[in-house]
């Protein structure tokens, strides 16, 4: 009996090791057997464009594009440029300004932290870190005010999914402390399943095992995706390429993953 008890304890410890932060997600959750239904609407439709300005009349003024298809459907938000030294996320988000829509609404904020992007730094000291500032404040630090305005848009359009595009400094497969080449889904099963599907999709393009994407557990508190997932209760993702890859590849992989996820909502074609 003692031996069985020890085995049980060992299994329990092994299980709990998987609960630590940034643990790799090994398999799709069993609780949800089916992925979200594929879209039926396949035809490109007319879209209207509304260009808004966040942080209007401040040095942080930055565009937010709202593309509305002529066919009703869910709203998906794509954010880039939260960290100014991660240009691939901003450029990949910008590519969504040129995609055809099948239905719904696509909201694109490609340069969330525009002064940091111009200075090519993570953020300026006076701004604060946007990705630790959600849900933000109407009157606070610049980071809190920017994130507050992004949250207003999420709520106004009742977003069904949120994507935030970033870069890590290394390859997570080699240096687990770096989130480079990973997807961090929200805590719900749908986010996890879609992240694994997106990872498998992008990894078909990558031959070097160390450069392949992984899915990590536990989104970062205070981040865009964390807020959308835990407060708005919608699937949300932080997508991290590795700055050790050429910029062209980082943009390509970021856009490939993000497109796959936006397409899962039927807003664009797969």
**From the CB of 5, what's the least distance to Zn ion, in Å?**
45
What dihedral do alpha carbons 117, 64, 239, 103 form, nearest 10°?
-160
**From the CB of 164, what's the least distance to Zn ion, in Å?**
8
Pick between residue 68 and residue 95 the one whose CB is nearest to Zn ion.
95
Pick between residue 241 and residue 259 the one whose CB is nearest to Zn ion.
241
**From the CB of 38, what's the least distance to Zn ion, in Å?**
31
Pick between residue 105 and residue 241 the one whose CB is nearest to Zn ion.
241
Pick between residue 102 and residue 179 the one whose CB is nearest to Zn ion.
179
The residues that touch Zn ion, with contacts defined as CB under 5 A, are 83, 86, 166
* Rounded CA separation 7/13 (Å): 10
Q: Which of 80, 73, 64, 47 is nearest to 255 (CA)?
A: 80
Beta-ladder partners of 106: 67, 76
Residue number closest to Zn ion, CB atom: 166
**From the CB of 166, what's the least distance to Zn ion, in Å?**
3
**φ and ψ at residue 106, rounded to 5 degrees:** -120, 120
Token pair in block for residue 162: 């949120």
* Rounded CA separation 232/250 (Å): 29
Q: List the Cα angle 221/225/230 in 5-degree steps.
A: 65
């Amino acid at each position: 009996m003692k031996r069985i008890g020890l085995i049980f304890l060992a299994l329990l410890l092994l299980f709990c090791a998987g609960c630590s932060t940034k643990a790799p997600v090994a398999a799709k959750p069993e609780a949800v057997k089916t992925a979200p239904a594929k879209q039926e609407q396949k035809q490109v439709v007319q879209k209207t464009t509304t260009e808004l300005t966040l942080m209007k009349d401040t040095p942080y003024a930055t565009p937010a594009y709202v593309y509305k298809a002529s066919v009703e459907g869910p709203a998906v938000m794509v954010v880039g440029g939260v960290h100014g030294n991660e240009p691939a996320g901003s450029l990949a988000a910008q590519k969504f300004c040129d995609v055809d829509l099948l239905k719904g609404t696509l909201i694109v904020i490609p340069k969330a932290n525009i002064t940091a992007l111009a200075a090519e730094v993570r953020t300026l000291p006076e701004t604060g870190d946007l990705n630790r500032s959600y849900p933000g404040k109407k009157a606070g630090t610049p980071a809190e005010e920017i994130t507050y305005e992004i949250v207003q848009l999420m709520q106004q359009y009742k977003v069904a999914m949120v994507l935030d595009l970033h870069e890590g400094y290394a390859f997570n497969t080699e240096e687990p402390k770096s989130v480079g080449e990973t997807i961090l889904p929200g805590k719900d099963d749908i986010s996890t399943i879609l992240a694994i599907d997106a990872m498998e999709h992008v990894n078909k393009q990558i031959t070097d095992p160390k450069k392949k994407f992984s899915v990590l557990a536990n989104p970062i508190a205070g981040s865009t995706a964390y807020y959308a997932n835990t407060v708005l209760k919608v699937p949300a993702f932080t997508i991290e390429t590795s700055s050790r890859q050429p910029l062209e590849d980082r943009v390509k992989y970021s856009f490939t993953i993000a497109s796959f996820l936006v397409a899962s909502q039927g807003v664009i074609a797969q």
